[in-house]
Amino acid sequence: MKITLYAICFFVCIFTSVSVCAGTARIITKENAIREDCRFFAPVKAKVRYSESVEIISGEGDWFRVRYKGISGCIHKSALEEKKFTFSGFTGPQSQAASGDEVALAGKGFNLSVEQSFKKSHPELNYQTVDIIENYSISDDDLRKFMINGGLNQPR
């Protein structure tokens, strides 16, 4: 009797832990990078885009070690939104599936369509300059040199 009870408890634990470990997360920045190590300025292994999914392998401080299209690497936690875990027992991967409502409403809200309509009714607003500001970029190398030259701390 006791052995049967332990066996059942063991299987419950196995099924639960397998599902939790196999967590996925969604990219919530327009674009980001999967890096070789869990630190800023580590070499980039792959680029990811908004709404793409990554599989979480483990957590390392403010970083997650993830798998993306067969590539393993690190991404900062602020670029990710963990998908809500719902237990679906023996059904496995289906636990990550989005409902019809979620799919239909994905991206609805204050989005690009709203901005485009808003822009049309407000031609006086200077969106062109906003785009110039956003398109200005600084490379990892230049930022790292600037930090070193000024005796600033490099983040972990």
Partner 1 sequence: MKILTGILGILLLLSGCSSVQLQDMSQHMGFVTKAATVTQKAARPISDEEEYYIGRAVAARILSIYPLSKDEYPAAYVNLIGKSIAIHSDKPFTYGGYHFAILNSHEKNAFACPGGIIFITKGMFSAVKNEDELAAVLAHEIAHITHRDGISAIQSSRWTEALTIIGSDAMKQYGSQELSQLVHLFEGSIDDVFKTLVVNGYGRSQEYGADETATVLLLKAGYSPEALKDLLARVRGEGGTQAGGMLKTHPATTDRIENISSHMPSGRTDNSLIQKRTARFLKILQYNK
Q: Could you list the residues that contact partner 1 (CB under 8 A)?
A: 1, 4-5, 8-9, 12, 15, 28-30, 32, 40, 50, 76, 78-79, 87-91, 101, 104-105, 107-115, 117-118, 121-122, 124-127, 129-130, 132-134, 136, 138, 142-143, 146-147, 149-153, 155
Question: 96 and 24 in contact (C-beta within 8 Å)?
Answer: yes
The conformation of residue 34, written as its DSSP 8-state character, comes to E
Cβ closest to partner 1, residue 70 vs residue 137:
137
- Least distance (Å) between residue 28 CB and partner 1: 5
Cβ closest to partner 1, residue 87 vs residue 98:
87
How far apart, in whole angstroms, are the C-alpha atoms of residue 57 and residue 64?
A: 7
- Least distance (Å) between residue 24 CB and partner 1: 18
Cβ closest to partner 1, residue 70 vs residue 110:
110
DSSP assignment of 70-123 equals: TEEEEEEGGGEEEPPP---GGGGGGGGPPPHHHHHHTT-SSSHHHHHHHHHH-T
Residue with tokens 């580590």: 42
- Least distance (Å) between residue 51 CB and partner 1: 9
How far apart, in whole angstroms, are the C-alpha atoms of residue 119 and residue 101?
A: 29
Using the Cα atoms of residue 104, residue 107, residue 111 and residue 112 in order, give the sign of their dihedral. negative
- Least distance (Å) between residue 23 CB and partner 1: 18
Cβ closest to partner 1, residue 70 vs residue 136:
136
- Least distance (Å) between residue 104 CB and partner 1: 4
Q: Is 134 helix (H, G, I), strand (E, B) or coil?
A: helix
Cβ closest to partner 1, residue 70 vs residue 118:
118
